[in-house]
Structure 1
Amino acid sequence: MKRKLTLVEGTMYGDGQTAVNAVVAVKIKGSIDAGNLQHALSKVQARHPLLNVNVREDSTGIPYFITNENIGQIPVRTANRYTNEDWEKQTSVECLTPFDTKNGPLMRVVYLKSAEASNLIMVCHHCICDGRAILNLLDETLRLLAEPHIDIGTYHSFSSLYDFIPDQVKKSRKNLLMVSLVKKLSGLMLLAAASKKEIKRVKPYLLHWRINEEESAAILSKCRKEGVSLHAVLSVIFLKAYDTIGTIKSHKKLYCAVDMRKFVPEIKNDMLFAFPAMIELGLKGGCNIEFWDQVRLLKEELILKISKTNVNRIFLLDEGLSTFLPKLAKYAKVDKGAHDFTFSNMGNSSIQENYGLVEVQDVYSPVTIFPFGNPSTFFASAFRGQLDLMMTSDAHFIKYEEAVMIREKVMELLKEMN
């Protein structure tokens, strides 16, 4: 394989030295044999083409995925597990530890072991993997630990986003003109931003909390009664919580990551793919509108924007703007944007509770600590009927104490809605 990174992949790749990693952790009962774990990971690596690539840049700085036939095996770091908080400390470390993109595989595993319970932490470079994909990698590994001889198959990765665009769309004069115009405007925008200084990480952090089964059930029941999604409820509550912290400038807007697989049938749910559609949502109707009406308005806005997603146009622009990739990756680190945060909601976890003799007791939401101008991100998922929430950011943007205040306000608003 020799494939140019897409704009999203390239933005995540950045300079190739700064960590932009997707991380997921689970708590399991008992321990795992190290040899069995490495065997499982070797079959996972053999299945996914992007686990056998390095990244190389051409003379203009454009990064490419290049297959390495002699790439090493997925590394496993083993350590003792002492407390229930060890996974969180190690997750933060792994979020901030760069990959050797030029030589090693873009995935690694941390195994925290003890006699009673253990943690398995999976880490991938975000340029090859999104939240859905890393959960799938975890599921495949656990299935192979339970049944080492099963065949999980393989697949061929696409060579370009152009593979998915119909010929008549590529050749349309209207589309060619649109791409040309956007390129000119993007060039001017990037030129104007060239003098801005990159916002460096000061003190990145991860804040995790969980809602127990009883309270989670009450929240979900209320959502069903009101005819709205949990995603819409959490979006409004996170935005409202932001707006109550006087020391934070609130735009009352968020970006929501929508899985592009639903628009591209060739990309299956169990394939590595890092190309979300980012949809902007905001609070509507002013301060006096009733909470559930705000939730319904946001839900309607999300449905409308998803329905209007033009995959061909997005892919055409991606290909057309690829020459700007190094500048766009830099732009992501200098521009704070006009939004409060990004929200990634994985919904009910795809991880099972039992894999043979391995019992999964907890699944923590897939998480990333971004190095971008606005690094603030919320993550949500559910496992065994419990909602699991995380927030990541950096002290240069939002102080940790302010993040704690946001968490407390979120919990207060969730209780009030019942």
Structure 2
Amino acid sequence: MRRRLIMGERIMYVDASTPLNCVFAITIRGSFTLERLRNALHKVQQKHPLLRASIKEDAAGVPYFVSSNKLSEIPVRIGERVSDDDWKAQSKAEWRKLFDGKSAPLARVVWLKDAEVSDLILVCPHCICDGTTFVALMSEILEVLDEPEKELSSYLPFNSMEGLLSQSFKVSKGKVLNAKFFSVVARLFFLFKSTKSKKPEGQNYFLHWRLDAEKTAALAIECKTAGVSVYSALCVILLKAFQSVKGSKARGKVICPVDVRRFISEIKGDTMFAFAPIAELSVDDKLAGFWEKAKKVKEDLNTKIAAMNVHELLIMSEYFHGSVKKMVKYLLTTEGSHDVTFSNMGRLGIPENYDSFEVEAIYSPSVGFPWRNPNTIVVSTFKGEMDFTFCSNDAFLPESEAIAIKNKALELLQQELMVSYA
């Protein structure tokens, strides 16, 4: 494989000197050996083409995924597990480490262990993975860790976006001309768009909290009774919490990433992929009640998802590579028009119990975005409990304000949904 990064991957790559890593951590009770873990990682690496590739830039500075049979195996760094919170410090440390070794693959693992409990921390650059990818990789690692003889079926890489989508989507000449025209418009837009602000020079951080199974179930019941999704209710809660803490500086908008696999059959649930189309949502303050606002958010999201032509978006975006450096600079230096990117991974399809160990906890992925506006909240559900991470940078959003937003959101959950979250 020698493939130029597609547009979404290219943006998340940033550049060769800027780390943009995602981290996914779990806690396991039970024993296993380093040999078993290396065997599991080897089989996972052999399954996924992107884990057998590195990123190399050509003479013009354009990054490519390049397969190599000289890459090392996925490295494992072993440390002592002293407390239940050690995974947090390790996650933040992994955000800052580049994947720049000449023979290193685009994944690594940190194994924190004591006599009975282990934390496994999987780290990948964001340009090769999304939340669904993380769940697939961790599922496979655990399966083979438990059953060392288990084999995983590999798949072929794609060498271009047209090659991936050719079976299900054809591009007309008119659409290509439109894409070329708007690519020129984009270059002009970013040429004159102000990027005078500086990217945050502070420290990235994240908050972590969880709703227990009883409270998570109560929230789901309240939402079902009202005819809204849990996601739309949480969007309203989060935007109100930002408004309460930030006041006139709140933007009143949330960005919703959508799993690309719901649109494109060629990208399977266990295929590594990094692009996610997005919908921007806001709350209609003209509506009086909380549930009316949540219903409108749900309707708006469904309407925007239904209108997404993701096949066309992926193909057309490939004509915008001439603007990608300007786009990245724009993200690095401007605050955007939203309060937060809010991703809901839903119920994680990872079993709790295996023959040789038990998965005690799974923590929603975290990411150290270098953007000027890095505000990101990820929620997932495991063992019936909703788990939240809130990632940001203290130069853009002081951690004290993030804590206040989190606390206000929990307070609003209690007020609006009449569920106790004390």
TM-score where L is the length of structure 2: 0.95
Aligned partners of 1:70 and 1:99: how far apart in 2? 16
Superposition map of 1:303-314 within 5 A: 303-314=302-313
**1:89 alignment counterpart:** 89
Q: Identify the residue that residue 170 of structure 1 maps to in structure 2.
A: 171
Q: Which residue matches 1:215? A: 215
Identity across the alignment (%): 38
Q: How far 1:172 sits from its partner (Å)? A: 2.8
Which shifted more, 327-336 or 365-374? 327-336
Consecutive unaligned residues of structure 1, counting only runs of 5 or more, are: none
What are the superposed Cα offsets for residues 274-304 of structure 1, whole Å, 9 maximum, x if unpaired?
A: 0100111111133x62100110000000000
Which residue of 2 is the match for residue 4 of structure 1?
A: 4
1:218-256 CA-to-partner distances (Å, cap 9, x unmatched) read: 111111111111111111111110000146711110111
Match of 1:53 in 2: 53
SS of 1:364's partner is strand
- Distance in 1 separating the partners of 2:410 and 2:45: 40
Query: Larger deviation: 161-170 or 312-321?
Result: 161-170
What is the CA distance between 1:411 and its match in structure 2?
0.6
**Following TM superposition, by how much is the alpha carbon of 1:167 offset from its aligned partner in structure 2, in angstroms?**
9.4
Q: For structure 1, which segment, 69-78 or 240-249, has the greater mean C-alpha deviation from structure 2 after superposition?
A: 240-249
Shift of 1:385: 0.9
Q: Are 2:396 and 1:397 equivalent residues in the alignment?
A: yes
Residue 259 of structure 1 is matched in structure 2 by: 259
CA distance in structure 2 between the aligned counterparts of 1:330 and 1:227, rounded to whole angstroms: 41
1:198 Cα deviation (Å)?
Answer: 4.2
Query: Which of 388-397 and 322-331 deviates more?
Result: 322-331
Aligned to 2:343: 344
Match of 1:269 in 2: 269
TM-score w.r.t. the length of structure 1 is 0.96
Structure 2 unaligned blocks of 5 or more: none
Cα distance per residue 1:3-28 (max 9 Å; x no partner): 11111111111112222111111111
Indicate conservation of the 8 Å contact 2:200/2:393, yes or no: no
1:201 and 1:371 in contact (8 A); partners too: no
C-alpha distance in 2 between matches for 1:356 and 1:61? 48
2:51 partner letter: L
- Provide the rounded CA distance (Å) in 1 between the counterparts of 2:299 and 2:321: 33
Matched, 1:161 2:177: no
Give, in angstroms, the shift of residue 101 of structure 1: 6.2
Determine helix, strand or coil for the equivalent of 1:270: coil
Length, aligned pairs only: 416
Whole-Å separation in 2 of the counterparts to 1:252 and 1:389: 20
Cα drift, residue 103 of structure 1: 3.8
Describe the superposition over 1:166-214 as per-residue Cα deviations: whole angstroms up to 9, x where unpaired: 79842332x1232122112111122124753540331110100111121
Q: How do 1:14-33 residues align onto structure 2 when only pairs under 5 Å count?
A: 14-33=14-33
The alpha carbon displacement at 1:312 in A equals 2.9
C-alpha deviations, 1:96-142, integer Å up to 9, x for none? 22211654111000000011311111111111111110111111000
Of 302-311 and 12-21, deviating more is 12-21
Q: Distance in 2 between matches of 1:51 and 1:274?
A: 13
Q: Deviations over 1:344-395 (max 9, x none)?
A: 1101112110122110010111121211121000110111111101100001
Q: Could you say if the C-alpha distance between residues 223 and 247 of structure 1 is closer, same or farther in structure 2, counting changes exceeding 3 Å?
A: closer
Are the aligned partners of 1:242 and 1:248 in contact in 2 as well (CA < 8 Å)? no
Q: Which amino acid aligns with 1:378?
A: I
1:366 partnered with 2:361 = no
Give the secondary-structure state (helix, strand or coil) at the position aligned to 2:269: coil
8 Å Cα contact 2:80/2:112 also seen in 1? yes
Alignment of 1:1-400 (within 5 A): 1-100=1-100, 102-163=102-163, 164-165=165-166, 169-173=170-174, 175-193=175-193, 196-246=196-246, 249-286=249-286, 289-400=288-399
After the TM superposition, which of the residue ranges 381-390 and 16-25 deviates more from structure 2?
A: 16-25
Farther off after superposition, 247-256 or 150-159: 247-256
Q: Which amino acid aligns with 1:353?
A: E
Residues 292 and 247 (structure 1), Cα distance of their counterparts in 2 relative to 1, 3 Å cut? closer
> Cα deviation per residue 1:46-71 (whole Å; 9 max; x = unaligned)?
00000011111123222111111100
The CA distance in 2 between the partners of 1:67 and 1:125, in whole Å, is 16
Is the 8 Å Cα contact of residues 77 and 111 (structure 2) preserved in structure 1? yes
Of the structure 1 ranges 312-321 and 98-107, higher mean CA displacement relative to structure 2 is found in 98-107
Distance in 1, Cα, partners of 2:11 & 2:105? 19
- Matches of 2:213 and 2:170, distance apart in 1: 49
CA distance in 2 between partners of 1:103 and 1:10 (Å): 21
Q: Distance in 1 between matches of 2:77 and 2:296?
A: 47
How far apart, CA to CA, are the structure 2 residues paired with 1:391 and 1:35? 35
One-letter identity of the residue aligned with 1:292: W
Separation (CA, whole Å) in 2 of partners of 1:168 and 1:210: 42
Q: Which amino acid in 2 is paired with 1:255?
A: I
In structure 2, distance between residues paired with 1:115 and 1:412: 39
SS of residue matched to 1:355: coil
The one-letter code of the counterpart of 1:140 is E
